[in-house]
């Protein structure tokens, strides 16, 4: 085995250990020492790659998410976007289904614990917002751009508002109320919540 694959395997082990401990004992109780023991790695090895616990946890979540990610989009104009179904409604459905499926694959205990920890740890909150949340706000940007070019959406449609409302609705059903979130519900959210939000600036 070449040095690079060994380094990748070691990194995978560290990130997996961090994610396991985060789910098992929570962010506050988790320590770099515990990660090192779980991953059978030295603390020096961990600190050479990550400056602290917050950066390590965010990297672990990013790594986990990338294992289940959809193909990358190509270009800021939306060309090659896997969510391009040819019309605004179906594009919104595809985006919302993708968000739902990724959230549904997460551990409720991990997600709720992370949100709770963000209230008490500013370093963690900053890292999560800059590297995990801000990017998700752009999920609807290519969809609305294509819709505006087709004349399906007004110039003032707010993609960040769509992302915020969608995240709140999905999170509530998946992790709080436990209500169904099948494709029929996704269609309902698109037709009765997201599309009216898109077109409200027409008024």
144-167 confidence digits (pLDDT tens): 999 999 999 999 899 999 999 998
pLDDT of residue 74: 38
Specify whether the CB–CB gap between 27 and 114 falls below 8 A: yes
Whether residues 103 and 198 fall in one domain = yes
pLDDT of residue 26: 87
Whether residues 1 and 48 fall in one domain = yes
- 3-state per-residue secondary structure call for the chain: CCHHHHHHHHHHHHHHHHHHHHHHHCCCCCCHHHHHHHHCCCHHHHHHHCCCHHHHHHHHHHHHHHCCCCCCCCCCCCCCCCCCCCCHHHHHHHHHHHHHHHHHCCCHHHHHHHHHHHHHCHHHHHHHHHHHHHHHCCCCHHHHHHHHHHCCCCCCCCHHHHHHHHHHHHHHHHHHHCCCCCHHHHHHHHHHHHHHHHHHHHC
Domain boundary among 35, 61, 87: 61
Whether residues 14 and 82 fall in one domain = no
Whether residues 97 and 146 fall in one domain = yes
Q: How many residues does the chain have?
A: 203
Which residue has 């698109």 as its token pair?
190
Instruction: Domain of residue 154: give its range.
Output: 68-202
Average pLDDT per block of 10 residues along the chain, 203 residues long: 72 93 88 96 94 91 64 42 76 92 77 84 86 76 93 91 92 88 95 94 58
Number of domains the chain contains? 2
Tell me the CATH number at 115: 1.10.357.10
Q: Tell me the average pLDDT of the chain.
A: 84
Tell me the CATH number at 30: 1.10.10.60
pLDDT of residue 67: 54
Nearest to 199 by CA among 169, 165, 162: 162
| CA atoms in the 13 A half-sphere facing the CB of 74 | 5
């Amino acid at each position: 085995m070449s040095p690079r694959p060994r380094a990748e395997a070691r990194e995978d082990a560290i990130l997996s250990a961090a994610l396991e401990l985060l789910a098992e004992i929570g962010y506050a109780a988790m320590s770099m020492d515990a990660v090192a023991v779980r991953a059978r790695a030295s603390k020096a090895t961990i600190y050479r790659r990550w400056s602290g616990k917050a950066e390590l946890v965010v990297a672990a979540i990013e790594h986990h998410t990338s294992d289940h990610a959809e193909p990358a989009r190509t270009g800021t104009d939306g060309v090659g976007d896997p969510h391009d179904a040819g019309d605004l409604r179906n594009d919104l459905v595809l985006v919302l289904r993708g968000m739902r499926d990724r959230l549904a694959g997460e551990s409720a205990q991990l997600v709720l614990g992370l949100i709770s920890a963000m209230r008490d740890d500013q370093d963690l909150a900053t890292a999560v917002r800059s590297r995990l949340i801000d990017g998700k706000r752009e999920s609807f940007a290519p969809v609305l751009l294509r819709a505006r070019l087709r004349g399906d959406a007004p110039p003032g449609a707010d993609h960040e508002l769509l992302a915020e409302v969608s995240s709140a609705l999905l999170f509530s059903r998946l992790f709080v109320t436990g209500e169904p979130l099948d494709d029929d519900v996704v269609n309902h959210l698109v037709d009765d919540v997201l599309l009216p939000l898109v077109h409200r600036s027409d008024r």
